[in-house]
Amino acid sequence: MKNFQIIRALSSGSAVTNISKEPSAMFIAGGTNLVDLMKKNVVVPDKLVDITALDLKKIEFGTGQVSIGALAKNSQVAEDKSIKEKYPLLALALAAGASQQIRHMATVGGNMLQRTRCSYFYNTDMPCNKRTPKSGCGAIGGSNRMHAIFGASDSCIAVHPSDMCIALAALDATVFVEGPKGKRQIKFTDFHRLPGNSPEKDNTLESKELITSVEIPENNFTKNIHYLKVRDRSSYAFALISVAVGLDIKNNVINEARLAMGGVAHKPWRLTEAEEFLKGKTVSEETFRQAANLSMKGAKSYGDNAFKLTLGPNAITEALTIAASK
């Protein structure tokens, strides 16, 4: 591990100023992903700006929305009584991630910016366009059981690993950031990006921007919700496929639906066509199966991950069925 300097910022303004002074400087929050990457020399910052002292830990309920500070811990959000009541899909998705100990360290902002779990990305002896642009992709034609079936490119087939972000995409969240050019907001579904020819870039954040909070509008997805995570072990494992479902059901008819998938693309994969299809339909397994089949349009496998083409529609059907039965 390379030597580095670490300084502690006391305001978001000074955090941004300090990080802007050094091209390779990075923010550090819980450190649960960044420190692993530094130990393996996947990232080699000369300077870390510790942001854990910033006043960005609050969960604030306003009229029509909740604002969650970027430094709120994953466990703090998952266990918050009002989050469980008003945004239970978010609480469920968070609780499905990592382990209790990691959730105690991990922050909301850090969770959004965690890097892919593609094993080639973490192994500096292997080619990886995301780690070293233009070096090739070890996973295409290699070991790719965890990899993408939607939106991949010839440069990268990695998936975004977060559980929390799948719920935030389904719930139409907005990300608030502050950077050298000032403050701005980004729609959550526009925050993460597809790899295209530049897989080294995971998201639409500009250089040296700090995530300050995430806002979720109030909604009616408080009862018929589910987060289904299919993984190799029942704890401490990333999703092979996950499905976040929110249904607003009145008299057995679906008023509104929200659906997003994890473990299938370089970003949380929102299923808008299936959402539209479900609107106004009576709850039935046949309807859910049709929505699931619609969701798989354009899916493509790369060898080891071919099982996701069958697992995907089954997981969507099951998640919808469980959500509707609550």
Ligand X SMILES: Cc1cc2nc3c(=O)[nH]c(=O)nc-3n(C[C@H](O)[C@H](O)[C@H](O)COP(=O)(O)OP(=O)(O)OC[C@H]3O[C@@H](n4cnc5c(N)ncnc54)[C@H](O)[C@@H]3O)c2cc1C
DSSP, collapsed to helix, strand or coil, labels residue 107 as: strand
> From CA 295, how far away is CA 270, in angstroms rounded?
9
- Side chain identity, residue 45: P
Return the range that interacts with ligand SF4 (CB under 6 A); candidates 49-57, 114-122, 276-284, 309-317: 114-122
Query: Shortest gap between Cβ of 115 and ligand SF4 (angstroms)?
Result: 9
Residue 109 sits in the site that holds ligand X (CB under 6 A): yes
Which CB atom, from 43 or from 322, has the smaller least distance to ligand X?
43
- Side chain identity, residue 282: T
> From CA 250, how far away is CA 28, in angstroms rounded?
45
Residue 30 sits in the site that holds ligand X (CB under 6 A): yes
Q: Which of the choices ligand X, ligand SF4, none does residue 260 contact, using the CB cut-off of 5 to 8 A by kind?
A: none
> Are 33 and 114 in contact, with CB atoms under 8 Å apart?
yes
Return the range that interacts with ligand X (CB under 6 A); candidates 57-65, 100-108, 250-258, 263-271: 100-108
What backbone phi and psi angles, to 5 degrees, belong to 59? -110, 115
Handedness of CA 102, 59, 242, 177 (dihedral sign): negative
Residue 118 sits in the site that holds ligand SF4 (CB under 6 A): yes
Return the range that interacts with ligand SF4 (CB under 6 A); candidates 76-84, 135-143, 299-307, 318-326: 135-143
Q: What is the 3-state secondary structure (H, E, C) of 279-303?
A: CCCECCHHHHHHHHHHHCCCCCCCC
Query: Shortest gap between Cβ of 124 and ligand X (angstroms)?
Result: 17
Q: What is the chain's alpha carbon radius of gyration, rounded to the nearest angstrom?
A: 19
- 118 closest CA partner among 108, 107, 127: 127
Residue 122 sits in the site that holds ligand SF4 (CB under 6 A): no
Query: Shortest gap between Cβ of 163 and ligand X (angstroms)?
Result: 4
Encoded one letter per residue, x for contact with ligand SF4 by CB under 6 A and - for no contact, window 151-190 reads -----xxx--------------------------------
> 237: which 2 tokens?
């494992």
- 314 closest CA partner among 261, 277, 272, 275: 261
Q: Which residues bind ligand X (CB under 6 A)?
A: 26-34, 51, 70, 74, 97-98, 102, 105-107, 109-111, 113-114, 161-164, 210-211, 236, 238
Q: Which residues bind ligand SF4 (CB under 6 A)?
A: 116, 118, 120-121, 128-130, 137-139, 156-158, 199
